[in-house]
Chain A
């Protein structure tokens, strides 16, 4: 997956939700490109497995149990990056506790929105705020937030998910404008890599074929499809790229 060109040599990265899936693929890709990586997530055993695989491949990583959207956990995460490695160059806000399908009129909708917003939007905001002074001091950094094509399309039943993700795009673009002069770049990836749960949902709801038909490249993505774009955005190759939304989803959403 990785070119092994050391495109992130000397950099320190935080990747949230890195115990599996897209987060794991990004953390692994970063380590293969020479970054030291902090992987965060809710399940310690999964994180330790990821760190073990990275170390076995010759990379450097450490695991921190952290719940996205918990400010104390966010502080511990950033403090650990600084105490271990003295800096933080890349922040990938990937963690998202998302809620299930729910019509807007359902009484549980507000509670659902709170779950999505707390983990994904506030989780991203907290880590960005905490990384900011260090990135300023070191002369720059790259922040990569995760959006979704669902928030552009606004599919029925996914308000909480879509609204929190669209809020993240607003956060990305605002931060890109506020922090550009400090050489902190902020971009959004719209990833598509189906989890087993998503596949189960698509099959159960009878929408699998319809969803696949939207993908120009004709196949659903894998976590390994997403990592290279996160590497590009964290690397100095993308030094003039900020405030952008890039879909890595086989041509489903074209912004």
Chain B
């Protein structure tokens, strides 16, 4: 199950998991995006099911999980990628805005884990990868609410790792830096960063935008059998911007 799989990093991760031979639930709130990604996987010979749900809505997530189980069996890998971002100076953040980001980014991840967990417990094997963000590590101006949700994701990852480790379930986080995704392009095009983005990149050890495929590679590594002794870890895929 990959959430936010209709575009960007989630899409790249779903594609990659499918290439590795795994049937994939392509979940997104954007129906067209989910269906296009699933169709591309299916056309390429993989197995995919488009699922439309708002991750902050438990009933919708339960419905999507049930469809995925019916199609492909127990859900043993979860990539919690769906997230909203928003740029806003701190004094102007409204409670509605705060609550919406918390609902999607943090409560959504929590709901997803709870909904698919019985499958993992039953099989005694599971892989959960939660996407956090560099802003939670370094701080991010005009993104206090967003960074706070991602900080919550990191704390949730560690606590889940400790609680679920004895059950054979690993829980790790990939923390993307500045990645070339539709979400980042909207921010660049909207001139939403406090300094020109080229200036941000110039300060990075690897001075370029990361790619969605590079995030997908890290997610799939954590999801693989190879990473069976890794849990509770935060892997920055950020070109060295935060170490």
Write the residues of chain A forming the contact surface with B, with a CB cutoff of 8 angstroms: 3, 172-173, 176-181, 183, 185, 192, 215-218, 221, 225-226, 228-229, 231-232, 237-251, 254-255
Contacts and interface: CB of A to CB of B under 8 A. Distances in A.
B218 interface: yes
B231 interface: yes
B44 interface: no
A229 B227 contact: yes
11 contacts: A176-B205, A180-B204, A216-B161, A240-B238, A241-B218, A241-B235, A242-B205, A242-B206, A243-B240, A250-B230, A251-B161
Nearest to A180: B205
Nearest to B229: A225
Contacts of B214: 238-241
Contacts of B231: 216-217, 250-251
Contact of A241 (B161, B162, B237): B237
A216 B205 contact: no
A228 B220 CA distance: 13
Interface in B189-233: 204-207, 210-211, 214, 217-218, 221, 224, 226-233
A249 B230 CA distance: 6
Contacts of B162: 216, 251
A218 B205 contact: no
Give the interface size bracket for B toward A.
35 or more
A177 B204 CA distance: 8
A123 B222 CA distance: 30
Contact of A232 (B207, B221, B233): B221
A183 B206 CA distance: 7
A251 B165 contact: yes
Contacts of B238: 240
Interface of B: 158, 161-162, 165-166, 168, 170, 177, 204-207, 210-211, 214, 217-218, 221, 224, 226-240, 242-243
A7 B230 CA distance: 20
Contact of B217 (A3, A228, A237): A237
Given A237-B217, A239-B214, 17 more contacts: A3-B226, A172-B243, A179-B205, A181-B205, A181-B206, A228-B226, A229-B226, A237-B218, A237-B221, A238-B217, A242-B240, A243-B242, A247-B232, A247-B233, A251-B161, A251-B170, A255-B233
A247 B205 contact: no
Contacts of B221: 232, 237
A98 to B, nearest CB: 21
B221 to A, nearest CB: 5
Given A177-B205, A247-B232, A254-B161, A240 B170 contact: no
Please list the 4 inter-chain residue pairs (A to B) with the smallest Cβ-Cβ separation, ordered nearest first.
Answer: A180-B205, A216-B165, A243-B243, A228-B226
